[in-house]
Amino acid sequence: MELDRNLWLLFAVGIVGVVSLQLIMPLFPLFLDSHGASEMEISYVISLSSLATTVLMIPVGFLMERVGKKRMLLIGLLIWTATPVFIGSARTWRTAAPLYMVFNLADVFIGPTRMTMISEYATPESQATVFGIMSMDWAVGGIVSPPLSGLLAERSGWGLPFQVAAIVMALSLVPALMIKEKAGATKEERVSALKIFRREHLASISLFFLFACALSTGQSVVSMMIPIFLKNQMELPLSSIGLFFTGSSFLSLLGQVPGGWLADRYGRKRVILAFLLPIPLIFGALAMASDWVVMLVLYSLFAGCLSMMGSASLALMSDSFPSELKGPAFSVRLTGFRMGSIVGPLLGGYLYSSYSPKSPFIAAALLFLTAIPLVYLIKEKPKQTF
């Protein structure tokens, strides 16, 4: 399989960009904690930053063809480049909160645009495999950046990881500028974006939205609380907490391409269900674990399952809609993910502080259980022979 030149450039943008993002995002709850924020206040900050993104995700996604995909990508990268230095220099968590909201707005421009461009440049018979390759960036960044971020914060304070993140993100502009964008959509195609909500597509897009929302809520109810849990309950230093995310990202990296290949060969839904079904059991085991090494193994298994079904999920959505509706469809899907990232942190913070530090794991298990029937309801197109 030979990748298009633009796919290689998008892959380079992703690798460099995610190395930068992972210097900030996994340990950001601890940054707020070091500035005096409580568990509930941390959940408010993260949920509010997702709320602003959620509100704008669909409208901005509908403007993709009008503004231009490359321009949308560059706008998002510029936001991610400019804001980290200001966040890192904030003296209180209340000052950092609105800056982090602006930082998160970049995903409105980058998320749907990048997915749509990947879908455009990949051939139909290898689409899930290509999504798997392109999704490796998040795992690579997760291996390299969190321990580096923790080490820099321990030795030089929180300002340095954010400064390094800004410098690294600026490098992602180079391959982004080299991308050659395909011809823009016609006026008729731009108007047709609203067809995503017509009756013939409404059931499918609603199921994809709910599926994304269930997965994201289940993931974020835990992901925000894990660094705080490891620091307060397991008493791990920042560098070790960073290594925890490295371990889980390693299995995520290993799962991306095989998951896509399996989805192309055996079917999207079959692969999604095969790796979705064990996740509630994994979170049930996490709720009972008392050793951080056991937790690392279990959380890594969760990350591996999630990565194995991720590219299959993207390909299933891409197969379900015509080319002129892929951008709006991906925007709706990402809105579902953002809805989950609003509810999840609030639920996780409430359960952690009001009930038990382990209760978010039980909630995550139940949320992933709700996603299983949604997959069964999604209609998969018959596998084509090329």
Are 330 and 193 in contact by the 8 Å Cβ rule? The answer is no
Of residues 381 and 348, which shows the higher confidence score? 348
Neighbour-count burial of 319, counting CB atoms closer than 10 A to its CB (0-12 exposed, 13-18 middle, 19+ buried): middle
Check: CB of residue 144 under 8 Å from CB of residue 19.
yes
How many angstroms separate the CA atoms of 213 and 200, rounded?
Answer: 22
List the chain domain ranges. Answer: 5-177+199-377
pLDDT above 90 covers a percentage of the chain that reads: 24
Q: Is the pLDDT of residue 165 over 50?
A: yes
User: What is residue 310's predicted lDDT score, i.e. its pLDDT?
Assistant: 81
Q: Which CATH number fits domain 5-177+199-377: 3.40.50.1820, 1.20.1250.20, 1.10.10.1800, 3.50.50.60?
A: 1.20.1250.20
Q: Is the pLDDT reported for residue 384 higher than 70?
A: no
pLDDT at residue 385, as a whole number: 45
Spatial distance between the Cα atoms of 80 and 176, rounded to a whole number of angstroms = 14
Alpha-helix residue ranges (DSSP H) falling in 224-291: 226-232, 238-266, 268-276, 279-288
Per-residue pLDDT tens digits for 275-316: 999 999 999 999 998 888 898 899 989 988 988 888 788 888
When pLDDT is cut at 50, 70 and 90, the band that residue 273 belongs to is very high
Task: Give the model confidence (pLDDT) of 320-375 as tens digits.
Answer: 887 777 777 777 888 888 888 888 888 988 898 888 888 999 999 999 999 999 99
Comparing C-alpha atoms, which of 24, 23, 45, 39 is closest to residue 232? 39
Q: At 181, is the pLDDT very low, low, confident or very high (cuts 50, 70, 90)?
A: confident
pTM of the model: 0.72
> E strands within the chain?
none
Owner of token pair 């003296």: 91
